[in-house]
Structure 1
């Protein structure tokens, strides 16, 4: 059971017990007004962010915010309102506002709270170890950021400038409940360290960046390691060339491959499906990705960045296989989108949870060097620009930078090119996935090799 964490009040202005009282007041007032159903959530977030540049402190920011959100149903009419004022009068006014909005909103036949059999009860809420507050002050955060940037600048004399380094320590907690019986909440944390060095001079400068982000600060990469790796990435891009337009295989570096997985999630999410605005409409049970590809979702990974015992509606979450041997086994649905489609919620109100894309063909030795060998002659992409994805048609076109690879070896860096294709063909054309897995946000995937794309250059 997801019991209140005894550490959860550390660094916060409000306790879990106080949030429960706020939420119960809101629900009680909603019932008094005549609401058919209602839900409320009280939340608080706070943190410290520090940025430095060229050995000097630039910014120190402390953030603290709070909110009470209320959703009211009058029959099949829905209203929502929120406030940052936790006084009794403000709570009543907020509930009244949500109630009034609901009364004058058009009926929606599928509007409503989750069905009772989908709601996470007390025994459906595992403790996932998501809260690790970082006891750090601005002086210590500044020292870490400076060490990270200094390591980047010391890597080579060709590292001539910096866009700065930053340290962020963030934590939040919430409590949510609704009139269908759901009650739950938890505290969580997210800490990060980043740096962006610049190599070269004049018209030949190249920038790159790297970061480390974890729920627990003890698991962050060493600042010196982050700085050196970011510098090495920037140095590797010096003397980049343009290339002529051609068709060739394309290898996506693992952080960028997570973006391809994100595109798949977008295309199979409930909103896109019921609006019929996706190229993967009616894809359930059909072969969409290459036959050696699996995608799994596990919301209960301890300390996972996408972990949660329940979704934003209080629906229980569970591990599942989303793609099995290339075949679509499940969508990403909230209660609302599921009803629109005549289906059941998948516990994905608010998004996906800890996705892993893997290949049944991947071997332990398939590191990046081996993936370049599999690429043979083609393009290795390490940066994408723009948002050129049309989810209605699947057409994909992004600005890119990376390296031209010949006979499995990096030949030279390239820039100012565009890669283009169609996501349907790209998904089916995944020929290999590397063992060089990287977790970007809540998505874990190795480098991904697409058999053929158009590369537009000179």
Structure 2
């Protein structure tokens, strides 16, 4: 099956139309006096079906399109956008961007990416898998998922619903240096959240799966079973006394630690000096056996991309090697602000994977921790990007003698990200891929757990 041909039949416009719109934008910008121009034109649609208590709760369908135009008049920059693809709207949007540019101040870092860094030939990454799922089929899948959650434990008494989501889009990025590229993308998901009840205790938990290809999603029965089992396992949760103990972040939330690192070494945070990891290249930030790699070209990868939002070619690279920072995450603008070279990260990161030489299975990590806290849910946003201070509400399980003893709730875990990164003792092999950052469960040597 040729995914590119399939895409033309499913979207509102063929990809060739988006390409022509991009050419028209560049032409209007040049005729209007722009010295440079870049544009992004996109088109997409989605379908979401939610079933709750075996009845259809919501059916949503959306079609979206839009274009953005950025023009440069020397070192002056203007941007405008619209969702109207008519010739008059395109001309008016370019004119608006030019008008804005004429009234802005010069910025010596403004401009397109360097021509030699733009992607030329790039790999096909298998990022588009259409899911021809009717509403009726989606309803049946959601019902199976929710029923599996109820069947997982007799204490499941209520549901927040099971949801099936289909999302497909396509885009073209082009600039006045002659670059034009783009491709279709898909992202499908299935989720379930239920409530368990016993005596006066009620607990909620969930599970979900996301993939480019619907065939790679976990089965609805597995998703429902996990959601139900997780909710029931939290019944009887206790508070614990304040203590300093090892903390194990379960895999689905451990990837958040990579996110805090990526944010701290991203261009905007660095040139604004609002990061606790300023001037960290060459510095030991993580434990000595920790590696973080950026792999933009993983087939079907949820954050794979042949080029970034500036059109710069993406490349595999080591971001952390043996705990030492090897590079930042920079787009063309932030790289110029820092006097550095872009890393192809305008628009974000691409498949960051944290690992060490000897990943452990989950039971082995519990044994290694011996006594401490397993965190399965984080609440709030208590992270100070400038100091690295970390304080989050949490719930999970108390672990004794390497075994899960009982669920805990209404606690706070606290520390400093510098110490947390350096204090990583183990990484699990239980990776759950849900986004741009991937890691197994992560064991930290010591954090403060605030309870009663």
Could you say what secondary structure the match of 2:59 adopts? Answer: strand
Q: Following the alignment from structure 2 to structure 1, what is the Cα–Cα distance between the partners of residues 197 and 161?
A: 16
Q: Following the alignment from structure 2 to structure 1, what is the Cα–Cα distance between the partners of residues 110 and 239?
A: 53
| Aligned 1:6-405 pairs, distance under 5 A | 6-121=5-120, 123=121, 125-201=122-198, 203-362=200-359, 366-405=360-399
Shift of the 451–167 alpha-carbon distance from structure 1 to 2, 3 Å rule, reads same
Once the two structures are superposed, what CA deviation does each residue of 1:139-173 show, in whole Å capped at 9, x if it has no partner?
10011001100110112210011111100001000
The reply on whether 1:434 has 2:428 as its aligned counterpart is: yes
- Unpaired runs of 5+ residues, structure 2, are none
State the Cα distance separating 1:440 from its structure 2 match.
2.8
Q: Following the alignment from structure 1 to structure 2, what is the Cα–Cα distance between the partners of residues 367 and 193?
A: 26
Q: Following the alignment from structure 2 to structure 1, what is the Cα–Cα distance between the partners of residues 136 and 97?
A: 44
Cα pair 1:396 1:423 within 8 Å, conserved: yes
State the Cα distance separating 1:8 from its structure 2 match.
2.2
Find the counterpart in structure 1 of residue 403 from structure 2.
409
Q: Following the alignment from structure 1 to structure 2, what is the Cα–Cα distance between the partners of residues 66 and 440?
A: 25
- TM-score after normalising by structure 1: 0.97
State the Cα distance separating 1:180 from its structure 2 match.
1.5
- TM-score after normalising by structure 2: 0.98
- Compute the RMSD of aligned alpha carbons: 1.1
Shift of the 4–309 alpha-carbon distance from structure 1 to 2, 3 Å rule, reads farther
Q: Following the alignment from structure 1 to structure 2, what is the Cα–Cα distance between the partners of residues 435 and 148?
A: 26
Q: Following the alignment from structure 2 to structure 1, what is the Cα–Cα distance between the partners of residues 345 and 370?
A: 39
Once the two structures are superposed, what CA deviation does each residue of 1:111-132 show, in whole Å capped at 9, x if it has no partner?
00001111111x1x21101000
State the Cα distance separating 1:361 from its structure 2 match.
3.6
State the Cα distance separating 1:61 from its structure 2 match.
0.4
Shift of the 132–4 alpha-carbon distance from structure 1 to 2, 3 Å rule, reads closer
Cα pair 1:436 1:447 within 8 Å, conserved: yes
State the Cα distance separating 1:201 from its structure 2 match.
4.7
Q: Following the alignment from structure 1 to structure 2, what is the Cα–Cα distance between the partners of residues 156 and 210?
A: 15
Once the two structures are superposed, what CA deviation does each residue of 1:264-308 show, in whole Å capped at 9, x if it has no partner?
100110000000000000000111000000000110000000000
Cα pair 2:210 2:434 within 8 Å, conserved: no
State the Cα distance separating 1:438 from its structure 2 match.
1.9
- Unpaired runs of 5+ residues, structure 1, are none
Runs of 4+ in 1 over 3 A off after TM superposition: none
Once the two structures are superposed, what CA deviation does each residue of 1:405-428 show, in whole Å capped at 9, x if it has no partner?
011011110000000000000000
Of residues 200-209 and 343-352 in structure 1, the stretch that sits farther from structure 2 once superposed is: 200-209
State the Cα distance separating 1:4 from its structure 2 match.
8.8
The reply on whether 1:424 has 2:423 as its aligned counterpart is: no
Q: Following the alignment from structure 1 to structure 2, what is the Cα–Cα distance between the partners of residues 192 and 310?
A: 25
Q: Following the alignment from structure 2 to structure 1, what is the Cα–Cα distance between the partners of residues 403 and 450?
A: 21
Cα pair 2:118 2:312 within 8 Å, conserved: yes
Of residues 151-160 and 435-444 in structure 1, the stretch that sits farther from structure 2 once superposed is: 435-444
Find the counterpart in structure 2 of residue 455 from structure 1.
449
Q: Following the alignment from structure 2 to structure 1, what is the Cα–Cα distance between the partners of residues 152 and 173?
A: 49
State the Cα distance separating 1:179 from its structure 2 match.
0.5
Q: Following the alignment from structure 1 to structure 2, what is the Cα–Cα distance between the partners of residues 151 and 190?
A: 24
Could you say what secondary structure the match of 1:195 adopts? Answer: strand
